[in-house]
Amino acid sequence: MSMPPSSHNELRRKDLRCLWHPYTRINDFEMLEFPVIVQGSGPTLTDADGKCYLDGISSWWCAVLGHGHPRIVEAIQRQAAVLQHSILGGMSHPRAIELAERLTSLAPRGLTRAYFAGDGSSAVEAALRMAVQSFHNQGHPERKGIIALADAYHGDTLGAVGAGYLESFHAPIRHLLNRAPQAPSPHCFTCEARSRCDLRCFGGLQQLVEEYAATTAAVIVEPLVQGSAGMRIYPPDYLRRLRQLCDRHGILLIADEIAVGIGRTGRMFACDHADVVPDLLCLGKALTAGTLPLSAVLVREELFDTFRDTPRQDRTFYHGHTFCGNPIAAAAAIATLEVFEQEDILHRSIQLQHAIASAFTRFGGLACVDRCNSLGAIGVVRMREGIPAARHAARIAINLGLLIRPLGDILYLCPPLNTPEVALQSMLARFEEALESAKTVPESIGELRAIAE
Ligand code: PLP
């Protein structure tokens, strides 16, 4: 799609007058050119100038099936013509029922109930409250604490930030939060013993859980990949040990699979790699393949049962969101799961996973790369020259037509799982070129701008 260049500039000018962007430093944003995306098709996004970008981050991890998948678009259109919204409080609708059935049959065995929310943060918020209220309902109000990992990210609502507190981001709102104690997180990139892993990193979490067990309702983790912390990939054994530890102390385990659920790690759920069944499992992002906001908490039946009234106690879960389980979003999620099944996405993405693993192993040998790692359809490098180098390389990549975003000193690639081979090779080549070209880091925003232009 091509539009006259002036229209792109005009859109940017209007944007700068009235829009406030999330996670975006205002001064930098105002200085740098930024794409205004007008269309998406498969792994490609197109801006208002007609310039194409390969989507190397699946639009914040959502677009697992690329953009504009015809079956999902059709499901949305079909549902929009029939029923756009109907509440789930005290009522139901067929799309929510069908999606709940599908999710609970796909999920690790034992997760038999689906609770719908609107986005990742609200699913996490619900899961935290379910865990705490469950103990309260059972006569254990003292079990009200949450334990999390350092540098975790569970969303931006206050409960989620309490679990994923980061001094550099959240200091101004610290007084609003109920902060969870945080254990040192597994960090294979910096671990001295990574070649002969004995899970020494688990010790910190074990100590914290043992110290707070009597007052803790749940431990929350991002299974196998601590995403926003810098794509920290850790071994399935860590999760197994955590499941055993939680069982020993009667603590609930919340798996926040908002980023990694629905195929990203090569399995439908990251917990599947460890054969671990959490008590609560949060899904979002890829649940609708990034087409519409929808999230879910999958829950064990025993936990659900603790919310049944007793003759003397109202145990209801007084928590919900207006758009939870919206029929159009639910139809998009059903279509997403159908595409996974009918197009055998997990199996077909094996080749893509191998290509990512071998390319990122090779990138590890580049002078500018300190460490590399991969899991499923996620490839990660850490830049030797730190944050400026990562930012610089991401800018160059965008200039080369590959959309990626830096995370501190980390750069990563997580393309749609159905990215065609040619597009994937092109992404990997551009990623490598960006790394190679980022050897000298510009000193000023002016220089960065010159590169972007
Ligand atoms: N949990 C994890 C692990 C995430 O990565 C995110 C978002 O990146 C969230 C929760 C919050 O999801 P949302 O941005 O949809 O609220």
Identify whether residues 306 and 162 lie together within a single domain: yes
> Among all residues, which ones are annotated catalytic?
23, 153, 256, 285
Q: How does strand 252-256 pair with strand 232-233?
A: unpaired
Q: Model-level pTM?
A: 0.95
What's the rounded Cα separation, in Å, for the pair 127 and 374? 29
- The CATH number covering residue 14 comes to 3.90.1150.10
304 and 255 share one domain:
yes
Question: Can you tell me the distance from the alpha carbon of 85 to that of 79, in angstroms, rounded to the nearest whole number?
Answer: 10
Same domain, 215 and 297: yes
| Domain assignment present for 17 | yes
Q: Are residues 319 and 177 in the same domain?
A: yes
Domain that holds residue 357: 5-61+344-452
> Is the CB of 148 within 6 Å of ligand 1?
no
Q: Give the number of the atom of ligand 1 that is nearest the alpha carbon of residue 293.
A: 15
Residues 422 and 434 grouped into a single domain = yes
SS3 for 116? Answer: strand
How far does residue 60's CA lie from ligand 1's centre (Å)?
9
Please answer whether residues 416 and 239 qualify as being in contact, where contact means their C-beta atoms are separated by less than 8 angstroms. no
pLDDT per residue of the chain (453 residues) written in tens, 0 to 9: 555 556 889 999 999 999 999 999 999 899 988 999 999 999 999 999 999 999 999 999 999 999 999 999 999 999 999 999 999 999 999 999 999 999 999 999 999 999 999 999 999 999 999 999 999 999 999 999 999 999 999 999 999 999 999 998 999 999 999 999 999 999 888 887 777 888 999 999 999 999 999 999 999 999 999 999 999 999 999 999 999 999 999 999 999 999 999 999 999 999 999 999 999 999 999 999 999 999 999 999 999 999 999 999 999 999 999 999 999 999 999 999 999 999 999 999 999 999 999 999 999 999 999 999 999 999 999 999 999 999 999 999 999 999 999 999 999 999 999 999 999 999 999 999 999 998 766 655 455 544 444
Spatial CB neighbours of 94, under 8 Å, sequence gap ≥ 6: none
Q: Is the CB of 121 under 6 A from ligand 1?
A: yes
Residues ≥6 apart with Cβ < 8 Å to 152: 163, 164, 182, 185, 220, 221, 222, 226, 229, 256
- Return the residue whose CA atom lies nearest to atom 13 of ligand 1: 120
Pocket lining: 119 vs ligand 1, CB cutoff 6 Å: yes
- Judge if 310 and 405 occupy the same domain: no
Helix axes 70-80, 327-342, angle to 10 degrees: 150
Asked whether residue 66 is assigned to any structural domain, the reply reads: no
Q: Which of 254, 285, 295 to mutate to test the pocket of ligand 1 (most atoms within 8 A of CB)?
A: 285
Q: Cα(13) to centroid of ligand 1, in Å?
A: 30
Count of structural domains within the chain: 2
Distance (Å) from CA 154 to ligand 1 centroid: 6
Look at ligand 1, atom 1, and give the residue with the nearest C-alpha: 154
Domain's final residue, options 298, 323, 342: 342
Do 27 and 141 reside in the same domain of the chain? Answer: no
Residues 317 and 298 placed together within one structural domain of the fold: yes
Domain co-membership, 165 together with 272: yes
Beta bridge partners of 372: 381
Does residue 376's CB lie within 6 angstroms of at least one atom of ligand 1? no
